[in-house]
Amino acid sequence: MKHLNEEDLIEHYYTKGESAVAGQHLESCAECAQAYAALKGDLAKMEFAEPPIRDAAYGKQVWQSIAPSLLAYEARRRGWLRGGPGRALSYAAACALLVVCAFIAGRQWEHRHIPAVAANNPAPARQIEPKAAQPREHVVVVVLGDHLDRSERLLVELKHADADSDELVAPMRDEARNLLAANRVCRQKAEQADDPALASTLDLLDHLLAELANQPDGLNTVTLTRLQDEMKADGLLFEVRVLRSRIPDKQADKSARHQGGTI
Amino acid sequence: MDKNDHAAIQAILAGDKEAYGALVVRHSQSLFRVAFRITGNEADAEDVVQDAFLRGYQKLGSFESRAGFGTWIYRIAVRCALDRIGGRSIHENHRVAEETDPEQDEVQVADTAAGPFHLLLSGEIQAMREMAMRSLTPVERTAFVLRHMEDLNTEEIGVALGIQPNAAKQAVFRAVHKLRLRLAPLRVRI
């Protein structure tokens, strides 16, 4: 039989007999039981002086003694302002200088790298026009790109819209009204340029924008669901995204302009 | 965590230093109790309480609200008390005198020829217990106090002392073993 050592007995005492193994052993082993009784006796006698009673004012006394040496957190957080207005101004001037340096560096970088980027990303052959038509066509392409961007955002909002939420629906209606006129101009241009894919998509978009913009009673759940279903059936959002991907973005456009070309 | 404590902490971190006063008032008693038990005298215990609240304030930004403030500041107080008794030894701090006077760090050693009844009457048993306690290392003493008087388990003691639970358990074992050896003469006499 393996007896319990002092550590086991101490553990058993402080865990208040949690260990069933030790408890069973103590019941069956007189030697260990005697040792445990002696330990219990010793520990029970280890009563030390109780802490002196502190009255209710003690906490306040402690607080009064330490309070003067504490610094408020807010004051520490704003410690960098403690140097006065001069120090704050110097920080502001340093920040402004950094911004100016970053701007100049960005401009320099742009001048050096744009020709290379443009050379590596030639525009699609279909979009290269004679030099005489460059400015006007350029404006049209940029306007079309912006228009498709805004239309795409509106369609995404429409896709996830909830008719109960007025703060979302009202701006959508306003945006649709704004886009409607631009969409008609773009559609006419697409027809003139003999681009049936673009014209067809813009036609669908025109229909949707008109519906969205001209609901006399606002958008109720039934109307919203119908418009969402139509948009989904036509694959309008996908079509707009495809068309948008055909339009070079503004950065590339700028590159081309620096190079003297047209998108 | 106590809602009042939580609200006070939020206020302090937002710049209201005075809100810390409420926490100090609320938890001073419990900190004094454990500090006294570890250090063994009032003056040290009072210093420990102040140190603990000062340290607590400095570290309040890193306080994680999932722990109770009371438990957190209690642990800090235990560390402060441990620091306070660290390096102190029975030989450095106590001398034999005609009367036992804890305030003067003087202790009257029991006459072995005296009977147990006399020992009880003169309060020397208590003095010997205190002497035995002071013979422990700071960690052993603190671990024993937390286990025997504050009823903490070994995991809690480990956290409070910044040691592994098994090391805390061993510290308690060593403390009990030493105390029993030191107090064995009393057991025979009584």
| Structural domain spans, chain B | 3-85, 113-189
Residues of chain B under the 50 pLDDT cut: 89-96, 107, 109-110, 112-113, 190
Better-predicted residue by pLDDT, B30 or A164: B30
Which residue is closest to B123 within chain A, CA to CA?
A49
A199: Cα within 13 Å, side-chain hemisphere: 9
Class of domain B113-189: mainly alpha
| CATH-assigned architecture of domain B3-85 | Orthogonal Bundle (1.10)
Q: How many residues does chain A have?
A: 263
Report the Cα B56 to chain-centroid distance in Å.
17
Alpha-carbon gap: A232 to the closest alpha carbon of chain B (Å): 48
Mutate to test the interface with B, among A9, A14, A19 (most CBs of B within 10 A): A14
Judged against a pLDDT cut of 80, whether residue A15 lies above it is answered with yes
Alpha-carbon gap: A31 to the closest alpha carbon of chain B (Å): 18
> A58 and B32 in contact by Cβ < 8 A?
yes
Confidence of residue A258 (pLDDT cuts 50, 70, 90): very low
Better-predicted residue by pLDDT, A211 or A122: A211
Write out pLDDT tens, residues B49-89. Answer: 999 999 999 999 888 766 789 999 999 999 999 998 885 54
Nearest to B47 by CA among B77, B5, B21, B24: B77
Maximum mean pLDDT: which of A61-70, A76-85, A166-175, B56-65: A61-70
Confidence of residue A256 (pLDDT cuts 50, 70, 90): very low
Alpha-carbon gap: B3 to the closest alpha carbon of chain A (Å): 19
Which value does ipTM take for this structure?
A: 0.77
**To 10 degrees, the CA torsion angle through B6, B8, B11, B16?**
-160
> A14 and B147 in contact by Cβ < 8 A?
yes
Mutate to test the interface with A, among B180, B183, B190 (most CBs of A within 10 A): B180
Tokens of B53: 């609240």
Amino acid at A8: D
CA distances from B7 to A188, B4, B50, B70, B97 (A): 65, 5, 22, 14, 52
> B54 and A48 in contact by Cβ < 8 A?
no
**What does the mean pLDDT of chain A come to?**
77
What distance in Å separates the CA atoms of residue A47 and residue B115, rounded to the nearest whole number?
21
Which residue is closest to B33 within chain A, CA to CA?
A51
Query: What pLDDT is attached to residue A171?
Result: 80
Query: What pLDDT is attached to residue A121?
Result: 57
Which residues of chain B does A76 touch, with a Cβ-Cβ cutoff of 8 Å?
none
Which residue is closest to B31 within chain A, CA to CA?
A59
User: How many Cβ pairs within 8 Å bridge chains A and B?
Assistant: 100
